């Protein structure tokens, strides 16, 4: 690997741990890092902010990706180049299923590739699937912390306003039909990064998953449960990896 810093992240090998949390918002990195031991700010460039610390004695990091699959794909590609191999997308999302309680966590098992970035990697027929070990760790963490959660499929999209204000779009009818299809298929949340992260992880044979806090409209539930669940999932993974646990 080159000793030069990665072009976008401005990170070198050794700057991050193998375990990385991926929020979208750079402002969410410091609150996550506060849950690590001995966390330090490593770099900030464009939408990418990085902190690295320790959990259970293992080096771990949090790196913001910005909004959407294009910038998330860059982050994951460059992180893999410098040694990261386990990723958890940590974010907020819109609830798809009617009646979902505000603030419920979505442990994402797979993602609808309703975006353009991942099609530059693999044909659209290739599924965007979360790693089972990461899914299990996220579910275990939510149960340990007694946080309401659901397992299911996310819709990863490119257009925020295409979801939140579809009626004013020229393709309003088509957008409504597709949204009804996601409901009918049992998808649980809508966000903007998971599918590309999962596809890239599949190609590179690394692990990736996601946990999203779901909201219906103007959610007021705090982010603490989301952030704590993601950090606890890293603890679960670290413990299992050290013990060479046989995952189901």
Task: Quote the DSSP letter at residue 248.
Answer: -
- Domains in the chain, start-ordered, CATH in brackets? 19-242 (3.40.50.1580)
Please classify residue 125 by burial: count the beta carbons closer than 10 Å to its beta carbon, then call 0-12 exposed, 13-18 middle and 19+ buried: exposed
Q: Which residue reads 């004013």 in tokens?
A: 168
Predicted confidence at residue 183, as pLDDT, reads 98
| Confidence (pTM) | 0.94
What is the full per-residue pLDDT of the chain (248 aa) written as tens digits?
448 999 999 999 999 999 999 999 999 999 999 999 999 999 999 999 999 999 999 999 999 999 999 999 999 999 999 999 999 999 999 999 999 999 999 999 999 999 999 999 999 999 999 999 999 999 999 999 999 999 999 999 999 999 999 999 999 999 999 999 999 999 999 999 999 999 999 999 999 999 999 986 555 567 899 999 999 999 999 999 999 855 55
Q: Which residue reads 């958890």 in tokens?
A: 88
- Please tell me the distance from the alpha carbon of residue 137 to that of residue 210, in angstroms, as a whole number: 11
CA-to-CA dists, residue 66 to 25, 58, 89, 95, angstroms: 6, 26, 12, 21
């Amino acid at each position: 690997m080159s000793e030069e810093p990665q072009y976008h992240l401005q990170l070198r090998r050794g700057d991050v741990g193998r375990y990385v949390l991926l929020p979208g918002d750079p402002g969410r990195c410091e609150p996550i890092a506060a849950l690590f031991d001995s966390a330090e700010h490593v770099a900030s460039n464009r939408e990418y902010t990085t902190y690295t610390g320790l959990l259970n004695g293992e080096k771990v990091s949090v790196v913001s990706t910005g909004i959407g699959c294009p910038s998330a794909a860059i982050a994951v590609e460059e992180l893999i180049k410098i040694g990261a191999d386990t990723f958890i997308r940590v974010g907020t999302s819109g609830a798809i299923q009617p009646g979902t309680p505000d603030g419920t966590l979505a442990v994402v098992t797979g993602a609808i590739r309703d975006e353009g970035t991942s099609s530059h990697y693999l044909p659209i027929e290739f599924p965007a699937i979360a790693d089972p070990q990461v899914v299990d760790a996220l579910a275990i963490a939510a149960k340990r912390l007694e946080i309401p959660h659901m397992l299911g499929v996310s819709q990863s999209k490119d257009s925020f306003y295409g979801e939140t204000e579809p009626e004013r779009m020229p393709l309003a009818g088509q957008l409504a039909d597709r949204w009804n299809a996601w409901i009918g298929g049992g998808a649980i949340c809508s966000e903007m990064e998971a599918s590309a992260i999962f596809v890239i992880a599949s190609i590179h044979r690394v692990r990736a998953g996601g946990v999203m806090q779901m909201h219906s409209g103007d959610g007021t539930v705090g982010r603490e449960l989301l952030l704590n669940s993601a950090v606890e999932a890293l603890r679960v993974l670290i413990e299992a990896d050290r013990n060479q646990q046989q995952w189901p």
